[in-house]
Amino acid sequence: SDPYHNLIPTEMYNHVITSHGIIMIFFFLMPVLIGGFGNYLIPLLISLPDLNLPRLNALNAWLLIPSSICLIISLYYGSGTGWTFYPPLSNSVFSSSLGTDFLMFSLHLAGVSSILSSLN
C-alpha cells in the first residue's frame, strides 16, 4: 500500500466533488429554502391563496428543469474547474470541454430562477 494508490483518479475525484457542491448548494438548498419555504409558507402565513404573480412563480419552478438538464449534460462532458470557477481553471485553455459551458449556463438559469423567486 502506497499513498498514491487511489480508488478513483484525481480528475474524477475533482469532478465528483465539484458536482456534489454545485448540486447541493444551487439545486437543493437555494430552491428549497428560498423557493420552497418562501413560495409555500408565506402565502399560508398571510392567508392568501397564492402569491401576487402566480405565473412568475410557475416560471421560476419551470426554469429549474432546463437548468438541471444542462447540469446533467455538463456532468457527462466533465469539467474540473471546481465549484468556484476560478479563472485559470475555467479558461478555455485549461478547460476546453463543453462541460464548463453547460455548467455555467446551468448556473445562470438557476440564478435567474432564484431572482424570479425573490421578486415574487
71 within domain boundaries: yes
41 within domain boundaries: yes
Residue 10 C-alpha from the chain's centroid: 23
pLDDT for 62 equals 92
Cβ-based neighbour number of residue 74 at 10 Å = 25
DSSP secondary structure letter of residue 5: -
Domain count, the chain: 1
In order along its 120 residues, the chain shows pLDDT tens digits of 566 777 887 777 878 888 888 889 988 988 888 777 777 788 888 888 877 888 988 898 899 999 999 988 988 887 667 777 777 766 766 666 788 888 889 999 999 998 988 887
Q: Which residues contact 74 (CB under 8 A, 6 or more apart)?
A: 98, 99, 100, 101, 102, 103, 106
* Residue range(s) defining the domain that contains residue 44: 10-119
- Residue 17, φ and ψ in degrees, nearest 5: -65, -40
pLDDT for 43 equals 81
pLDDT for 12 equals 79
Cβ-based neighbour number of residue 97 at 10 Å = 15
Cell numbers for 68: 438541471
24 within domain boundaries: yes
62 within domain boundaries: yes
pLDDT for 67 equals 94
pLDDT for 88 equals 72
pLDDT for 45 equals 84
